[in-house]
Amino acid sequence: MVKKFKAIVINNESENFTREVKELDTSALKDGNVLVKVDYSGLNYKDALILNNGGKLVKKFPHIPGIDFSGTVVESENNNFKSGDEIISTGWRVGEIFYGGYSQYAKVNADFLVKKPNSLTTKQSMILGTAGFTALQCSFAIKAREELLLGEKVKDVIVTGASGGVGSIAVMILNKFGYNVTAVTRTADNSEYLKSIGAKNIINTKDLDKDLRPLEKGLWDGAVDTVGGKILANVLAQTKDNGIVAACGLAANIKLDTTVMPFIIRGVKLWGINSVNASIKRRQFIWNEAANLIDFEKLNKSIKEIGLDEVLNIFPKMLKGETSGRHIVNLNK
Domains along the sequence of the chain with CATH: 4-116+295-330 (3.90.180.10), 131-272 (3.40.50.720)
Question: How distant, in Å, are the alpha carbons of 217, 230, 245, 277, 316 from that of 220?
Answer: 9, 17, 9, 29, 34
pLDDT at 239 > cutoff 80: yes
For residue 157, give the amino acid letter. V
pLDDT at 2 > cutoff 80: no
- Radius of gyration of the chain, Cα coordinates, nearest whole angstrom: 20
Alpha carbons 132 and 137: distance in angstroms, whole number: 9
Q: Please, what is the average pLDDT of the chain?
A: 94
pTM equals 0.90
Give me the mean pLDDT over the 84-104 stretch. 97
Coil, helix or strand for 51? Answer: helix
Give me the mean pLDDT over the 23-39 stretch. 94
pLDDT at 49 > cutoff 90: yes
Give the pLDDT band of residue 324 (cuts 50, 70, 90): confident
How many helices (DSSP H) and strands (DSSP E) are in the chain?
Answer: 9, 15
Coil, helix or strand for 239? Answer: strand
Give me the mean pLDDT over the 176-184 stretch. 98
Question: Chain-centre distance of CA 254, in angstroms?
Answer: 17
Give me the mean pLDDT over the 115-125 stretch. 97
Give the pLDDT band of residue 190 (cuts 50, 70, 90): confident
Give me the mean pLDDT over the 201-205 stretch. 96
Instruction: Could you list the beta-strand ranges (E) of the chain.
Output: 4-13, 16-25, 34-43, 68-76, 86-90, 105-108, 113-115, 156-159, 180-185, 199-204, 220-225, 239-247, 269-272, 303-306, 326-330
For residue 303, give the amino acid letter. I
**What's the confidence (pLDDT) of residue 90?**
97
When mean pLDDT is compared across 75-84, 99-108, 142-151, 176-185, the lowest value belongs to 142-151
pLDDT at 252 > cutoff 90: no
Residues 163 and 190 sit within 8 Å (Cβ to Cβ) = yes
pLDDT at 325 > cutoff 80: no
Give me the mean pLDDT over the 190-215 stretch. 93
**What's the confidence (pLDDT) of residue 1?**
59
Alpha carbons 185 and 111: distance in angstroms, whole number: 37
pLDDT at 208 > cutoff 70: yes
Q: Are strands 199-204 and 180-185 parallel, antiparallel or unpaired?
A: parallel
Give the pLDDT band of residue 101 (cuts 50, 70, 90): very high
The percentage of the chain sitting over the pLDDT mark of 90, rounded to a whole number, equals 85
